[in-house]
């Protein structure tokens, strides 16, 4: 374990924790501008987190210890996931202990705890949101695994740093398997992060909300951790997409500290473009009924499987 690897690992976690709310604010701004509305300040998510952390938490009378522990577990899962995704460098000491399968497992663990906490209170909204969340997760996780397996077939490894190293050193070209996988990953990311067309993060209507229904009973620091975890999840999925389909600019293990520092502005530039594209997709899309979500995610799964088949047949 090198000191540069330890520095890269700590820097990646710090960057994820710091930039996740900023990316959410960036997407919210562009959504408002596209809808010809007055946009909230770019730093609004930080102000909201600061306000929530300084409030007194109110917990339901019959809430169990699971309800109180869930925000910390969900936030910890998202923070740990950000530490094994190559965003600045592929020299990550923690990557040896977790591959893409473990990464999907972390997302699944967070989903289970937030769903259990939503049902713990026994409210109608919480149970409704938990059922919908598990339905989306049940359909999205296989598609995400197929996308990651497509990339692992190309690199011959399920380790994300190895995948990034392999893809970054390939000739710049459009590979059919990665093209299909990219479309599937985009669809899964929209569903997993409660974005349009599967969910709308800006609404509290009973017929549409999924994520918001599960966190309605939280307040103060518990709600802050949930909102921060949601921002981290969006950041993590964005970085997974960048690592798989746009791995250029990520420092390699043999590069020095200068390359590590140079990877930071590259990452920010890619996230700026990615946030703009996300807001564009949400603005141009319409919210679908929850009963259409299986069709949407089933299409994503078929595209991901098609990506694997194309890779096996064409080798690209």
Q: Is the pLDDT of residue 49 over 90?
A: yes
pLDDT for residue 137: 87
DSSP, residue by residue, 137-167 = HHHHHHHHHHHHHHHHHHHT-S-HHHHHHHH
Asked whether 270 and 246 are in contact (CB, 8 A), the reply is yes
* Residues 6+ away with beta carbon under 8 Å from 64: 120
Give the max Cα distance, the chain.
60
Q: Which residue, chain included where needed, has tokens 């690992």?
A: 9
Q: Which residues contact 205 (CB under 8 A, 6 or more apart)?
A: none
End-to-end CA distance of the chain, in Å? Answer: 34
Q: pLDDT at position 163, please?
A: 86
SS percent in the chain: helix, strand, coil, step 5: 70, 0, 25
Mean pLDDT of the chain: 86
Please choose, from the candidates 218, 210, 191, the residue with its C-alpha nearest in 3D space to the C-alpha of residue 304. 191
Q: What letters, b where the CB count within 10 A reaches 16 and e where it falls short, cover 171-207?
A: eeeebebbebbbbbbbbbbbbbbbbbbbbbbeeeeee
Count helices and strands in the chain by DSSP H and E runs:
11, 0
Cβ(308)–Cβ(177) under 8 Å? yes
- pLDDT of residue 22 exceeding 80, the answer is yes
Select the more confidently predicted residue: 167 or 1: 167
Tokens at 102, concatenated: 């473990």
CA gap 32, 279 in Å, rounded: 9
- By three-state DSSP, how is residue 218 classified? coil
* CA–CA distance, 256 with 4 (Å, rounded to integer): 7
Q: How far apart are CA 231 and CA 225, in angstroms?
A: 10
Instruction: Say which range, 98-102, 259-263, 275-279, has the weakest mean pLDDT.
Output: 259-263
Q: Which of 3-17, 121-135, 189-203, 300-314 tops mean pLDDT?
A: 300-314
Please state, in angstroms and rounded to a whole number, the distance separating the CA atoms of residues 29 and 288: 23
Residue where the block lists tokens 């520092």? 261
**Cβ neighbours of residue 108 closer than 8 Å, sequence gap 6 or more:** 137, 141
For the chain, percent of residues with pLDDT exceeding 70: 93
Least reliable range by pLDDT among 45-49, 133-137, 147-151, 165-169 = 165-169
Integer Cα distance of 300 and 12 in angstroms: 29
Give the pLDDT score at 204: 64
At which residue do the structure tokens 């938490």 appear?
A: 57
Residue 178 in contact with residue 298, Cβ under 8 Å? Answer: no
- The backbone torsions φ and ψ at residue 234, rounded to the nearest 5 degrees and listed phi first, read -65, -40
**Range among 4-18, 34-48, 152-166 rated most confident:** 34-48
Only one residue has tokens 């949400």, namely 282
* Interval 60-109: pLDDT, tens: 778 888 888 999 999 999 999 988 888 888 877 777 777 888 889 999 99
Query: In the prediction, which pLDDT does 302 show?
Result: 92
The whole-number pLDDT of residue 206 equals 61
Residues 6 or more apart whose Cβ sits within 8 Å of residue 228: 17, 20, 21, 49, 75
Average pLDDT over residues 136-155: 89
List pLDDT tens digits, range 210-238: 777 788 888 889 999 999 999 999 999 99
Position 291 pLDDT exceeds 90 = no
1 pLDDT exceeds 60? Answer: no
């Amino acid at each position: 374990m090198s000191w540069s690897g330890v520095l890269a690992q700590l820097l990646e976690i710090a960057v994820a924790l710091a930039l996740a709310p900023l990316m959410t604010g960036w997407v919210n701004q562009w959504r408002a501008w596209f809808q010809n509305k007055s946009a909230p300040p770019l730093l609004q998510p930080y102000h909201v987190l600061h306000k929530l952390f300084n409030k007194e938490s109110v917990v339901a009378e019959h809430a169990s210890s699971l309800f109180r522990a869930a925000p910390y577990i969900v936030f910890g899962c998202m923070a740990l996931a950000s530490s094994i995704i190559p965003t600045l460098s592929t020299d990550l000491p923690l990557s040896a202990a977790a591959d893409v399968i473990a990464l999907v497992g972390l997302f699944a663990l967070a989903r289970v705890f937030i769903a259990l906490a939503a049902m713990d209170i026994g409210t109608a909204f919480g149970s409704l949101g938990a059922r919908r969340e598990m339905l989306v997760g049940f359909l999205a996780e296989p598609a995400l695994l197929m996308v990651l397996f497509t990339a692992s077939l190309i690199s011959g490894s399920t380790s994300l740093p190895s995948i990034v190293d392999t893809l970054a050193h390939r000739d710049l070209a459009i590979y059919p398997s990665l093209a299909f996988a990219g479309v599937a990953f985009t669809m899964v990311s929209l569903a997993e992060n409660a974005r349009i067309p599967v969910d709308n993060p800006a609404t509290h209507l009973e017929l549409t909300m999924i994520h918001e229904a599960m966190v309605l009973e939280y307040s103060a620091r518990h709600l802050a951790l949930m909102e921060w975890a949601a921002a981290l999840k969006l950041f993590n999925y964005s970085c997974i997409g960048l690592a798989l389909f746009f791995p250029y600019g990520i420092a390699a293990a043999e590069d020095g500290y200068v390359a590590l520092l140079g990877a930071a502005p590259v990452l920010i530039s890619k996230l700026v473009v990615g946030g703009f594209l996300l807001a564009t997709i949400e603005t141009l899309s319409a919210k679908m009924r929850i009963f259409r979500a299986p069709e949407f995610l089933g299409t994503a799964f078929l595209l991901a499987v098609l990506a694997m088949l194309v890779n096996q047949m064409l080798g690209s």
